[in-house]
Amino acid sequence: MELSQYSLKEIEARLLKGRLPFSGITELGSSEFHFKEPAFFAGVSMHSGHRVRREILEFLTVDAENRYREEDPFMDRFISDFPLRIYGRDSRFEYDLNRNPYKAIYDFDKPKWGLKVWNREIPEKERVESIKKHREFHGLLELVCKYLLQQHRYALLFDLHAYCYQREIKQEWYEDERPEINIGTRAVNREIFDPAINCFIKNLYKTRIDGHPMRISENEIFLGGYLSRHLSRIYHDQLLVLSLEYKKIFMDEWTGKLYQSVLDKLVRDFTRAVDRTVETCLFAL
């Protein structure tokens, strides 16, 4: 289905009037959104997009295969049934949405994940265009957070990411000591939201894959990025941002092959934990 484009002002007007459901793409193309029904929680998958503007392709050293490995494929599946959800459409190699706008474009002279990103400096005109898209995405997120807080005194945002664990050595996921799920909460208000955080983690602990328990950690390999810091600063006493980093046990990170049954299990258990957190913990605050 082809989606219509909307400016942020048009999106804000529809949300204020409660004209749901509606879906679309933002005016500059940074974001795809689907707003089905009123709710006080939403999901975002900012790095599941793979597009790169053709104007800057000639400056990129990293090919499509290597870009895909360091992006977050399939993480949009985790929030596909959410009442409100937002996807980033562009590759993090054009601009990284989880960095502040001044550092969103990777440095010319510094490798990222061992990869040389650019073959030369990007022209200022193209840099400005990418940062405009970065700002548009976060502008949309702020509109959604305002909308969530019209529905309830507190709101909850799930921020989905994935990370590679086989760059250094080929190994089974359960042989790797790093957590299968890390939850970044460094920026959030623990005084208010501690019960909801603990409720969510407790329900995730029930996940097992092929008989192996999954290790879940908090603030071990990921504290939460710019999204969490930025929104938690604005809505510190009202918004809980849970930034999740999944180990890519649901795919072969080198070939891109999906392990469908593993992904289905992870999504089911994540959805169960979300439902219980929303219904029994956050709503009770």
Q: How confident is the model at residue 284, as a pLDDT?
A: 66
At 2-38, the pLDDT tens digits run 899 999 999 999 999 999 999 999 999 999 999 999 9
When divided into structural domains, the chain yields a total of: 1
**pLDDT computed for residue 113 by the predictor:** 87
In the chain, the percentage of residues whose pLDDT exceeds 70 is 98
Task: Give backbone dihedrals phi and psi of 139, rounded to 5 degrees, phi first.
Answer: -65, -40
pLDDT tens by residue, 80-128: 999 999 999 999 999 999 999 999 999 988 889 889 999 999 999 999 9
Q: How far is 279 from 49, CA to CA, in rounded Å?
A: 30
Q: Please, what is the end-to-end C-alpha distance for the chain in angstroms? A: 39
Q: Considering all CA atoms of the chain, what is the largest pairwise distance in Å, rounded to the nearest integer?
A: 53
Alpha-carbon distance of 70 to 79, in angstroms, equals 20
Residues 67-89: tens digit of each pLDDT: 999 999 999 999 999 999 999 99
pLDDT at 213 (0 to 100): 87
The mean pLDDT value for 262-272 works out to: 95
Q: Cα 165 vs. chain centroid, distance in angstroms?
A: 18
Chain segment 161-183, per-residue pLDDT in tens = 999 998 877 888 988 999 999 99
Express each pLDDT in 211-257 by its tens digit. 888 999 999 999 999 999 999 999 999 999 999 999 999 999 999 99
- Nearest Cα neighbor of 216 from 226, 208, 227 is 208
Work out the number of other CB atoms within 10 angstroms of the CB of residue 69: 21
Q: Position of tokens 């007007």?
A: 13
Mean pLDDT of the 130-140 span: 98
Tell me the mean pLDDT in the region 28-50: 97
- The whole-number pLDDT of residue 210 equals 85
CATH of the domain at 144: 3.40.630.40
Residue 130 reports pLDDT greater than 90:
yes
pTM over 0.85: yes
Task: Select from 244, 245, 38 the least CA-distant residue to 155.
Answer: 38
Domain that holds residue 177: 5-282
Residue type, 271: T
pLDDT of 206 strictly over 80: no
Token pair of 256 as six digits: 């891109």
Average pLDDT, the chain: 94
Question: Which residue bears the tokens 């990103």?
Answer: 117
3-state class (DSSP) for residue 59: coil
Residues 6+ apart with CB under 8 A from 228: 159, 184, 185, 186, 187, 188, 241, 243
Predicted confidence band of residue 282 (pLDDT cuts 50, 70, 90): low
pLDDT computed for residue 285 by the predictor = 66
| Banded pLDDT at 189 (limits 50, 70, 90) | very high
